[in-house]
Structure 1
Amino acid sequence: MTSESDDAYEALIQFLYQAPVGLIQLQQDGSIEMLNPMASQLLMPVSPDGNLANLFDVLQQQAPGLRAQCQAYPYAHGVIADGMRLVLGSAGAAEPGGRGARPEVLALGVLKVDAGRMMAVLVDATAEVQREQRTLARRLDSAARIDTLTKLPNRAAVRELLQRMAARPRAASGDEGALLFINVDRFRQVNHTLGSPVGDQVMVLMAERLRASVRSGARPGGDGNAQGLGEVAARVGGDEFTLVLDGLAGAGVAESIAARLQQTLGKPYRIGLHDISLQFSIGVVYLGAGGAAADDVLRDASVAVAVAKAAGGGQTVLFQPAMREQAARRGGIEAELRSALAQGQLFTVYQPVVGVLPDGAIDRSAGVEALVRWQHPGRGVVGPIEFIEIAEQSGLIDAIGEFVLRAACRDFAAWQNELGARAPRLLAVNLSRAQLGDASLCDKVAAILDASGMQPAQLQLEVTESLAAQGADIQQQLQRLKALGVKLALDDFGTGFSSLSSLHLLPVDTVKIDRSFVSLSDTSHHHEVLIEATVKVARSLGMSTVAEGIETEAQAAVVRRQGCDKGQGYLYSRPLPAAALAAWIQAR
């Protein structure tokens, strides 16, 4: 019996010493009573002097809290530590004797055997950690290609796909790919009026519609068997999406798909109590053999989107190479315009709005309209026709509009002090679409009026006819401005979507008759009749009228004959700086 016990003990000892893991028996204070060769091999890299007398001392740098953790363990036996990672540093050259590269990470487990002894287990966890790191890297790599809000592929994923498509040989069938770049028109208005959480929900719903389009076959006549056709929807920016198409046979297919998407994405989005209607600008770029770099394709598509937006939005535009030069010029103007705002190169001028008197005289103090100019360091004075559209598309129009309003109110207040009773009685300032979409517009206007000392009724804010006739959000903003006490004018009347029969629906005080009617009024009876009708309807609704673009005495006579209240145009004065405007008023 004793012989059998001795054999079993010997077998156990052999197993412990040959075990592929490190085994250590230690006392409560960390003193090592026994360790097997694997434990010694694993610990030697952290104990250059070879002193393995105390485990806590050996691992002081890698596990500084191990001593306290073990000594504070309250139970007579149990697991004190399990899988504790000990980082040793980068793997080096093979150990002497050919035992392989030194471990980078050890895993330590400690078991309390009784009141005075513990057992520790050490394993080389380097390979396990490396596997975990590779898995994590793959997950991070995947996450880096997914948009967190919509879970669609993101710009990085689209770039990779376009690069792969550009590198492949052209199919013998002549089939080709295309990129559709989809941008939501005036989406900032949704965020401004309803808040960014609602905007995010709209983005998620848009993504779902794009996914559904891909699944059902986005191309006309899609029958649900679109898999394998290479349609990939992605979100590449805040309000920007793309659809990568492959295997397109024949010209015009991408444009047809874009037209279908305009209908699909253009249906109202129901968010809470809001039905949100949107329109989209879509740029189309076809991908040829040996195609352009991915960034160039994305750039060309965004250029086509900019062209669509410049044309009013809600359109699809096929990219043409000539658009690059136009985009470069626009980009240059945008950069210069940003500098102009920062460096104070913008300034205001004022065109008189005169009272039209029956005897042919004019009232020079009726009012003025504020206009913006740019004192370009190289080109001299630049008019708004060259930069306002770019300002609207780049988001600079808010800052420019606020600058004009603030400067004009300041000048208006100065005229009151300088000219007294002869000072202009009304200041007209134009509002852009972006400003009307700003939920804080009324607060800004009120603050500027308060700072200048102007009364709200002395300020007239002007919106174009086409803008005033748009959705409920615009109407609500106009009503809020009206409640503030400022006057509202309908600019360029006759060029938009309103009609005389619907004029009563708009909360405006003044109708400004477009210059296109006035310019022909002295030679075309038809245009004079239109002016007459506009004046009569406006007057019946309690609105005043202003005729724009009066350049000749004959036109002024027509305007006077038809009863217009005020006139504006080069016949009376071109736009003037503030000081020159004051001098013009005094030159009676």
Structure 2
Amino acid sequence: MSEGELAYEALVQFLYRAPVALIQLQKDGAIELLNPMASRLLMPLAPDGDMENFFHVLRRHAPDLPQLCAQFSDQQGVVCEGRRIVVDETHGAADGPAVLSLGLLKLDDNRLMAVLLDATHEVVREQRLLASAAQLDTLTQLPNRAGTMTLLRKMTARTRSATGDHCAVLLVNLDRFKQVNDTLGNAAGNQVITLVGERLRSTLRSGGRPGDGGMVMEAVTRVGGDEFAVLLDGLPEPGVVERIASRLLERLGLPYRVREQELALTFSLGLVVLKTGENDADDLLRDAAIAMAVAKAQGGNRAVAFEQEMRDQALLRSSLEADLRTAVERAELFNVYQPVVGLLADGHMDPGAGVEALVRWRHPVRGLVSPIDFIGIAESTGLIHAIGEQVLATACRDFVAWQRQLSTAAPRLLAVNLSRAQLTQADLCDRVAAILAASGMPAAQLQLEITESLAAQGADIQHQLLGLKQLGVKLALDDFGTGYSSLSSLHLLPVDTVKIDRSFVSLAASSAHHKVLIEATVLVARSLGMTTVAEGIETLEQANVAHAQGCDKGQGYLYSRPLESAALQQWLTAHAAQPAAAH
């Protein structure tokens, strides 16, 4: 025989001997070709012996297959993978499979290829381990959280060999899954969850595979919501876990087709390997969740291995969160104010240009807690709304009191930061207006500051900013140079002041490049009627460079650290003579 004939004969022998069912069919389900395994698996489903149409054979068990194929508009690709089809819910069929696993591939506009596996033993094994249907998730047919704990306890309690017998947990979470539900609806969200579960199951060899230390068990479960767990047992060495995690992220990152849309999703994955002597299932799942949260905090779309200090930080965060909930009521949070000065020639300054309000926390046990340690907690828990409102109300009352007590020595402008969460409040403008009215604060002397990256986001943020402008308050763009906007788009933002980030200012004295950047920012801002503030000035040389490049104001430790109200009044009084030297 020729080489071509030999190759064809080899292909026929492969199809004949393949341990999986292979069926080639037309787009309407008409079967063109099937191997002996396909006949064995499908025959019990066609008691009348009619196996001419694949969709017809499975019509009682998977009636949606024709519609699923018709809705798949790509010229080729995976229509579904790892889909379980329950043929006999008792799992006791004597003449055929009780549960099938179906993969369906579109070859071209007219042909499909179906792959069927007998998944009965796999399902029976899972159900024996779980011992109860109540431990199965109804949406994905994966073990639920209770089932996950059952499997974990069995895994961690098992006696292990001295070497080559490790186990691990991987916790998988969808990044920004809420956006899917918000934009496409809960039904589409459920479809995404189902597709993710199928892809996890098909990526892993759920039935186990040989390893250096015995059988490797790979099980997928749905812990809840958009979180899945992957349980690995009998691993030959711990390093295998990271390779499996990498493979999962790669496969999970492929597009998903939902309602004629192709979705690109990313995932955060936390992994933990069971160490010698540790056998607590709850701790293992908790540590995986901590590592997953770290992966999400780092931007998502990555896997992070658990480390002990992560648990310590999580405990500290949990403790701070509990304390922060009562800190507002107990008046543990208070304002400090950093002077913003006018930049004059020869290192002189105008001390009354303004102040920026900043929040601090005086913890009854820990002492002063850095904003770096609690602002993120406040934002993630929603406490930032109450804290931000308290900071603004207190600052406005203090500002009005300074005007009354200090007269011409009082600051002329009050700057207060707005967080991302505050800007999403539908009634933010009403709340600001109420605070202005209650304190007697002139709107024109209040400046609300937002970060550059936040100002550049979406029509909703722009609408909120315009609403604040209508109240008469000023707006400032904080940390300019570190976000997503640019000088060319500065005219699109409804701001009055641009605050140049300290990273530019700190290098301006020694870097011609940064001098040019500051000068360009000042020129563009000035052409738009905006003022500029140089942040983070710590030396007289930096102050002179900022002034030479045209900055209107400066702020930093050269002039003063943030001060409580009484200390600020003393500072303002001491520097009331103008012009005053920076030192």
Shorter-chain TM-score: which interval?
A: 0.5 to 0.7
Matched, 1:480 2:464: yes
**Residue pair 2:195, 2:256 contacting (<8 A) in 1 also:** no
Quick check: 2:171–2:230 contact (8 Å CA) kept in 1?
A: yes
Partner residue of 1:412 out of 399, 411, 414: 399
- Quick one: distance in 2 between partners of 1:150 and 1:426? 58
* C-alpha distance after superposition, 1:335-377 (max 9, x if no partner): 3333323322110111111222357543333222111111122
1:340 to 311, 314, 327: 327
State the partner residue of 2:220: 232
Partner residue of 1:216? 202
Moved over 6 A (4+): 148-151, 263-278
| SS in structure 2 at match of 1:301 | helix
Measure how far apart 1:293 and its partner are. 1.4
- The corresponding residue for 1:369 is 356
SS in 2 for 1:519: helix
AA in 2 matched with 1:232: V
Whole-angstrom distance in 2 between the partners of 1:171 and 1:304: 27
By how many angstroms is 1:561 displaced? 0.7
Q: In the alignment, does 2:538 pair up with 1:548?
A: no
Are residue 242 (structure 1) and residue 229 (structure 2) matched? Answer: yes
- 1:145-156 to 2 correspondences below 5 Å: 145=135, 153-156=143-146
Superposed CA RMSD in Å reads 4.1
Structure 2 counterpart of 1:159, from 125, 135, 149? 149
CA offset at residue 573 of structure 1?
A: 1.7
1:204 aligns with 2:187: no
Shift, 1:407, TM fit: 2.3
Distance in structure 2 (CA, Å) of the matches to 1:420 and 1:250: 73
In structure 1, the partner of 2:168 is 178
Between stretches 398-407 and 550-559, larger displacement belongs to 398-407
TM-score normalised according to structure 2 size:
0.63
SS at match of 1:284: strand
C-alpha distance 166-203 of structure 1, shift in aligned 2 (>3 A):
farther
Q: Aligned partners of 2:556 and 2:132: how far apart in 1?
A: 62
Q: Which amino acid aligns with 2:519?
A: E
What's the % identity of the aligned pairs?
61
Shift of 1:250: 5.3
Q: From the superposition, tell whether residues 156 and 403 of structure 1 become closer, same or farther in structure 2 (CA, over 3 Å).
A: farther
The correspondence of residues 424-463 of structure 1 with structure 2, limited to 5 A, is 424-463=411-450
1:247-274 CA-to-partner distances (Å, cap 9, x unmatched) read 6565555445545655676689999999
User: Structure 1 residues 266, 388: closer, same or farther in 2, change over 3 A?
Assistant: farther
Q: State yes or no: 1:349 paired with 2:336.
A: yes
Q: State the shift of 1:306 in Å.
A: 3.5
Asked if 1 retains the 8 angstrom alpha-carbon contact of 2:341 and 2:555, the reply is: yes
Do 1:356 and 1:560's aligned partners in 2 also have CA atoms closer than 8 Å? yes
Q: Deviations over 1:427-481 (max 9, x none)?
A: 2222333334445544544443444344554433323334444x53xx5224322
Aligned-partner Cα distance in 2 for 1:261–1:432? 35
The structure with the larger Rg is 1
Secondary structure (helix, strand or coil) at the match of 1:387 reads helix
- The AA in structure 2 aligned to 1:448 is I
SS of structure 1 residue aligned to 2:322 = helix
Q: Secondary structure at the match of 1:343?
A: coil
Equivalent position to 2:560, from 573, 581, 584: 573
How far the C-alpha of 1:164 sits from its partner, in A, is 1.5
Contact 2:175 2:266 (8 Å CA) reproduced: yes
Kindly tell me: are residues 479 and 354 of structure 1, through their superposed partners in 2, closer, same or farther at Cα, counting changes over 3 Å? farther
2:93 aligns with: none
Task: Return the letter of the residue paired with 1:231.
Answer: A
User: CA–CA distance in 2 between the matches of 1:150 and 1:436?
Assistant: 37
Q: Alignment partner of 1:404: what SS?
A: helix
* Counterpart secondary structure, 2:283: helix
Shift of 1:520: 2.6
AA of the residue aligned to 1:578: S
1:319 lines up with 2:306 in the alignment: yes
> CA offsets per residue over residues 354-402 of structure 1, 9 Å max, x none?
2223575433332221111111223433331333334444554343333
Q: After the TM superposition, which of the residue ranges 564-573 and 486-495 deviates more from structure 2?
A: 486-495
The residue that corresponds to 2:520 in the other structure is: 533
Contact 2:290 2:306 in 1 (8 A): yes
Pick from 291, 295, 303 the counterpart of residue 282 of structure 2. Answer: 295
Secondary structure at the counterpart of residue 328 of structure 2: helix
Q: Structure 1 residues 548-557 or 500-509, which shifts more?
A: 500-509
Is the Cα–Cα contact under 8 Å of residues 429 and 460 in structure 1 kept in the other structure? yes
Structure 2 CA distance for aligned equivalents of residues 229 and 172 of structure 1: 18
What is the identity, as a one-letter code, of the residue corresponding to 1:476?
D
> Structure 1 residue 577: deviation in Å?
1.5
Contact 1:490 1:508 in 2 (8 A): yes
